[in-house]
Amino acid sequence: MNSVYKIGFYTAISLVIANMIGTGVFTSLGFQLINIHSVFSILVLWLLGGVISLCGALVYAELGVTFPKSGGEYVYLSKLIHPFVGFLSGWVSSTVGFAAPVALASVALGTYVNVIFPQVNITVCALTVVGLISVIHATNLKSGSSFQKILTFLKIIFIILFIVAGFWYTPLHMVSILPQAHSESEIFSQPFWVGLIYVSYAYSGWNAASYLAGDMHDVKKDLPKALIVGTLIVTAIYVLLNYVFLYSTPASELAGVLEIGHVSASHIFGEFFGKFMSLVIAFLLVSSISAMIMAGPRIIKSMGDDVPMLNFLAITNKNNVPYLAVILQSVITVILILTAQFESVLTFVGFSLSIFTFLTVMSIFILRSRKIENTSYKTWGYPFTPILFLALNGFTIYFVFINKTEESLWGLLNLVIGGVIYVIGTQFSKNKHV
């Protein structure tokens, strides 16, 4: 009998990198430049996003090593705070937390392909990509793991080549990364912190490897390395990419523009080759879609393991893949694509998930107070790194609620629905055992 396949470090780190690098880094800069004009301030903004993510990754590494089960926040919050809180976290992730970003990335991919090949229908393209990748990840963990590693490797190679080409290019305008007279006031301004909301979205996914902790060959060794090294790599890529965008193109041409990658590539390679940047970004999105389709169902499976009413979602095939969970997430994704509701859903999902990320990092203090020990890994910089994460992440949650109140309230309503499901499920379990 064949042993169950387990993923290693390279698959785990590819999940982190692929989950993080999506459309965000290629679209956010134009909106930041409307109110922030210093290159130094922009780079500080992206570096700060990396610092926040790294502080979170350091904590998740300890939680994941202590509780080496797939499911991420769902597992940690259930163990350390209460199963109800864990369920709410899992509810958000399993219903729309992964499905909405997959829908957004898939439609974005279809849009980029349509730019080069107008005859390609955007919706059909999006649905085809979701369908094909779902089949891969619903069938075999080994083949899905190899698929993910190859896509992520090619993504990194392309981005490195683009950065090198950017530095090789000689711009016609002057660029300085040194602080300007207005840099300090910009960093402490409201637009800077509102911009951090979108930067945080671009960094989301730094915790991706924790969702497959139970599928890892050596979780105590590989999970901390994947979370920390993956986050550091993406931080370096993000800062360098944004510098190349600003170095290659005058800020006046980028301000308010969505297709930052296309505009920058047109300056570096010329207008003809710049058009193909859309096709390249579409290819980059395939690895992001794959990573989310691979990670999300593990939360659904963990909930199925723990909640009797949802036991059917924990069913696996002969390769130990939770294929019903993969199918459920993909069905929700398809519905969001066909109804075009993913963008409105995405805002309140981001707000809800940030709350649970905040609670998860906060739970490290509960872990330490209970003296639940592991000898493999401890959070570097404790307690300062989790405190820094909580302060900056809490500030971001506050700004989202103030500036996106309606969407935030929809997110809270979704939590209420999840709470009702939990109560019904708990009652069902009690009645079943009477």
Q: What is the band of 344 on the pLDDT scale with cuts at 50, 70, 90?
A: low
CA distance 278 to 283: 9
- Residue 212 above 60 pLDDT? yes
Assess whether pLDDT exceeds 70 at residue 432. no
Q: How many CB atoms lie within 10 A of CB 280?
A: 19
Residue 246 pLDDT exceeds 80: yes
Q: What's the Cα-to-Cα distance from 268 to each of 12, 244, 271, 324, rounded to whole Å?
A: 33, 10, 9, 46
Does 16 have pLDDT greater than 70? yes
Model confidence at 434: pLDDT above 60: no
pLDDT reported for residue 428: 66
pLDDT single digits (tens) 389-414: 999 889 888 888 887 888 889 889 98
Strand partners, 216: 7
> What digits encode the pLDDT tens for the residues 19-44?
999 878 887 888 888 888 888 999 99
Residue 433: pLDDT above 60? no
- Res 283: pLDDT: 84
Find the mean pLDDT for residues 62-80.
Answer: 94
Report d(CA 17, CA 4) in Å as an integer.
Answer: 25
Would you state the pLDDT for residue 83?
93
- CATH classification code of 9-433: 1.20.1740.10
Domain boundaries, the chain: 9-433
Confidence class of residue 430 from pLDDT cuts 50, 70 and 90?
low
Q: Is pLDDT of 2 > 70?
A: no
pLDDT of residue 78: 95
> Per mean pLDDT, which of 87-96, 378-387, 403-412, 424-433 is the most reliable?
378-387
Residue 427: other Cβ atoms inside 10 A:
11
- The answer for residues whose C-beta is within 8 angstroms of residue 386's C-beta and 6 or more apart is 55, 58, 59, 361, 362, 364, 365, 379
Residue pLDDT, tens place only, 347-406: 778 788 889 999 999 999 999 999 877 767 899 999 999 999 999 889 888 888 887 888
pLDDT mean across residues, the chain:
88
Residue of 193 and 329 predicted with greater confidence: 329
Mean pLDDT of 182-190: 81
Of 429, 422, 428, the C-alpha closest to 74 is 422
* Contact indicator for 94, 296 with CB cutoff of 8 Å: yes
Kindly tell me if the per-residue pLDDT of 271 is higher than 80.
no
What is d(CA 4, CA 217) in angstroms, rounded to the nearest whole number? 10
Of residues 308 and 353, more confidently modeled: 353
The torsion angles phi and psi of 7, rounded to 5 degrees, stand at: -80, 155
The pLDDT of residue 310 is 82
Confidence of residue 1 (pLDDT cuts 50, 70, 90): very low
